[in-house]
């Protein structure tokens, strides 16, 4: 038989078209009940949990920026004030202590008030001991300005805009800014 | 359905059993028929078809990275399974329907599998010409068996055969020519 004739024979060959419906049905059930789709169910759970996780994460982020971070910044402001040599000098001279700190409009303020021992020994006719409010630059990590207040008042009741702030001068012995060193 | 639509359907099938069921209903007869025509053995055809679909389901997520149609992908898996069947005496299945049934799974089927198999075997025996030539085809090497079966039993175009076997169209043409010649020599 020639090549072409043999090809024709193959092309015209009647082939079996048999179906095993029982096997088809059984295999289908096995496939659909296999663990593959159960795993997908876990994936569906993951999809459900994803927005919840995102929400919790968002709450955590918001919580950090609104609660934890301000507290950290207040603590940082107090620490900066405590470590500032000029503040230390001011506190020592006037027997003051840091009693409060707050954040307002991205600025940190620290209140220095007389120590309780000092207040207790004050006579009624004596001049009221000085109180100071410090403006702390958190980015520069330094006390930038200070102001004096007369009243015994909480930092919460003080509007920093009403305070006449004065820049802290350079520490003793330090060269003034833009000083001609020649 | 173009390739991107098919990929989307397969993507959905990974999550949705009903979508997978549609694909299965569409392709089961083709794959079972192909395996049966390659092996001329109903038991082997059942096992190999089962293995093909179980593997396809397991690797469904890989399909989107393959630049072939879903049909070709299934034929490719089935072809590999058939070759494995011919290579080994005693085809090793990763999982069988019987094993799944032993694990407690009872498929509900209105068909009596034993009677159905007996009837199918009777039907198969009636295809004398086919069985005669099929008996000669299985004597050829796997590469010739594949191209002859896909071209003449499955009526696949050269391009599709190339896609299934992962070979160039020119290679398929030349393989097909040599396969026909080898088979003609035995006729």
Residue (of A66, A93, A91, A67) closest to A81 by Cα position: A91
pLDDT of residue B54: 92
pLDDT of residue B90: 59
Residue (of B12, B53, B54, B3) closest to B30 by Cα position: B53
Is 80 exceeded by the pLDDT of residue A150?
no
Please name every residue paired with A146 in a beta bridge, in sequence order, or none if there are none.
A134, A166
Is 60 exceeded by the pLDDT of residue A170?
no
Is the Cβ of B104 closer than 8 Å to some Cβ of chain A?
Answer: no
CATH number for the domain running over A74-167: 3.10.450
* Closest residue in B to A41 (Cα–Cα): B15
Is 50 exceeded by the pLDDT of residue A41?
yes
Average the pLDDT over A17-22 and give the result: 92
Is the Cβ of A162 closer than 8 Å to some Cβ of chain B?
Answer: no
> B146 or A91: which carries more pLDDT confidence?
B146
* Closest residue in A to B16 (Cα–Cα): A37
Please name every residue paired with A107 in a beta bridge, in sequence order, or none if there are none.
A104
* Closest residue in B to A35 (Cα–Cα): B58
pLDDT of residue B124: 94
pLDDT of residue A20: 92
pLDDT of residue B128: 94
Going from the C-alpha of A15 to that of each of A2, A133, A146, B37, B145, the distances in angstroms are 22, 99, 100, 7, 15
Q: Which residues of A touch B14 (CB under 8 A)?
A: 40
Is the Cβ of B5 closer than 8 Å to some Cβ of chain A?
Answer: no
CATH class of the domain defined by B127-187: mainly alpha
Window 5-64 of A, Cβ < 8 Å to B: 6-7, 10-11, 13-34, 36-37, 40, 43-44
CA–CA gap between residue B96 and residue A26 (Å, rounded): 11
Judge contact between B78 and B49, C-beta under 8 A.
yes
* Percent of chain A at pLDDT exceeding 70: 81
Whether residues A3 and B25 touch (CB distance < 8 A) is answered with no
Is the Cβ of B57 closer than 8 Å to some Cβ of chain A?
Answer: yes
Burial code (b: 16+ CB inside 10 Å, e: under 16) for A93-116 equals ebebebbbbbbeeeebbbbbbbee
Cβ-nearest to A10 among B17, B107, B152: B152
Is 70 exceeded by the pLDDT of residue A63?
yes
pLDDT of residue B99: 59
Is 50 exceeded by the pLDDT of residue A76?
yes
Is 60 exceeded by the pLDDT of residue A79?
yes
Whether residues A34 and B32 touch (CB distance < 8 A) is answered with no
CA–CA gap between residue A90 and residue A75 (Å, rounded): 20
Going residue by residue through chain B, which has 187 residues, state the pLDDT in tens, using 9 for 90 and above. Answer: 777 788 888 888 888 888 999 999 999 999 999 999 999 999 999 999 999 999 999 888 888 777 889 999 999 999 999 999 998 765 666 555 565 555 555 555 556 778 888 999 999 999 999 999 999 999 999 999 999 999 999 999 999 999 999 999 999 999 999 999 999 998 7
Edge-to-edge strand order for the sheet containing A131-137? Answer: A96-104, A107-114, A131-137, A142-149, A166-167
Judge contact between A78 and A92, C-beta under 8 A.
no
Whether residues A37 and B17 touch (CB distance < 8 A) is answered with yes
Window 58-87 of B, Cβ < 8 Å to A: 58, 60
Average the pLDDT over A123-143 and give the result: 80
Average the pLDDT over A26-54 and give the result: 79
ipTM: 0.86
Task: Look up tokens 């038989």; give the residue.
Answer: A1
The two three-digit tokens of residue B162, written as one number: 């190339």
CA–CA gap between residue B143 and residue B175 (Å, rounded): 8
**For helices B17-39 and B42-58, what crossing angle results, to 10°?**
140
Q: Where are the domains of chain A?
A: 74-167
Residue (of B51, B72, B11) closest to A30 by Cα position: B51
Read off φ and ψ for residue B104, nearest 5 degrees. Answer: 110, -5
CA–CA gap between residue B154 and residue B137 (Å, rounded): 15
Q: Is A80 helix (H, G, I), strand (E, B) or coil?
A: helix
Going from the C-alpha of A137 to that of each of A83, A122, A127, A141, A161, the distances in angstroms are 13, 33, 31, 6, 16
Is the Cβ of B145 closer than 8 Å to some Cβ of chain A?
Answer: no
**Annotation: CATH topology of B1-126:** Rna Polymerase Sigma Factor; Chain: A (1.10.1740)
Q: Which residues of A touch B29 (CB under 8 A)?
A: 19, 24
A30: alpha, beta or left? (left if phi > 0; alpha if psi -120 to 50):
alpha
> A105 or A91: which carries more pLDDT confidence?
A91
Judge contact between B153 and B139, C-beta under 8 A.
no
CA–CA gap between residue B13 and residue B22 (Å, rounded): 9
> A40 or A167: which carries more pLDDT confidence?
A167
Out of A116-120, A134-138, B35-39, B109-113, pick the least confident: B109-113
Q: Cβ neighbours of residue B89 under 8 Å, at least 6 residues apart?
A: none
Average the pLDDT over A147-159 and give the result: 79
Residue (of B178, B134, B167) closest to B34 by Cα position: B134
Is 50 exceeded by the pLDDT of residue A179?
no
Q: Where are the domains of chain B?
A: 1-126, 127-187
Q: Which residues of B touch A44 (CB under 8 A)?
A: 15
Cβ-nearest to B21 among A13, A28, A30: A28
Q: Cβ neighbours of residue A104 under 8 Å, at least 6 residues apart?
A: A160
Residue (of B97, B33, B38) closest to B71 by Cα position: B33
How close does chain A come to B166, measured CA to CA in Å?
24
Judge contact between B168 and B136, C-beta under 8 A.
no
């Amino acid at each position: 038989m020639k090549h072409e004739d043999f090809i024709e024979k193959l092309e015209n060959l009647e082939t079996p078209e048999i179906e095993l419906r029982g096997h088809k049905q059984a295999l289908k059930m096995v496939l659909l009940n296999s663990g593959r789709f159960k795993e997908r169910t876990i994936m569906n759970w993951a999809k459900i949990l994803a927005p919840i996780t995102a929400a919790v994460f968002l709450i955590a982020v918001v919580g950090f920026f609104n609660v934890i971070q301000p507290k950290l910044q207040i603590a940082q402001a107090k620490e900066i004030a405590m470590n500032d040599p000029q503040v230390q000098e001011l506190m020592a001279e006037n027997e003051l202590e840091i009693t409060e700190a707050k954040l307002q409009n991205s600025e940190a303020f620290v209140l220095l008030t007389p120590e309780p021992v000092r207040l207790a020994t004050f006579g009624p006719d004596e001049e009221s001991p000085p109180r100071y409010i410090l403006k702390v630059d958190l980015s520069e990590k330094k006390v930038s300005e200070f102001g004096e207040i007369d009243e015994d008042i909480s930092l919460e009741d003080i509007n920093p805009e009403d305070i006449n702030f004065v820049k802290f001068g350079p520490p003793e012995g330090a060269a003034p800014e833009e000083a001609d060193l020649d | 359905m173009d390739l991107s639509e098919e990929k989307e359907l397969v993507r959905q099938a990974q999550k949705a059993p009903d979508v997978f069921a549609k694909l299965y209903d569409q392709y089961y007869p083709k794959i079972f028929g192909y395996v049966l025509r390659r092996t001329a053995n109903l038991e082997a055809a059942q096992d190999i078809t089962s293995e093909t679909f179980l593997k396809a389901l397991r690797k469904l997520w890989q399909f989107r990275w393959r630049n072939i149609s879903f049909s070709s992908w299934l034929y490719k898996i089935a072809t590999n399974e058939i070759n494995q069947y011919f290579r080994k005496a005693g085809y090793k299945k990763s999982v069988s329907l019987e094993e799944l049934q032993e694990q407690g799974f009872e498929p509900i089927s209105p068909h009596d599998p034993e009677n159905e198999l007996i009837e199918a075997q009777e039907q198969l025996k009636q295809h004398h010409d086919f069985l005669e030539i099929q008996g000669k085809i299985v004597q050829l090497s796997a590469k010739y068996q594949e191209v002859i079966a896909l071209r003449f039993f499955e009526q696949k175009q050269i391009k599709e055969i190339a896609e299934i076997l992962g070979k160039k169209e020119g290679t398929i043409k030349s393989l097909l020519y040599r396969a026909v010649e080898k088979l003609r020599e035995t006729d």
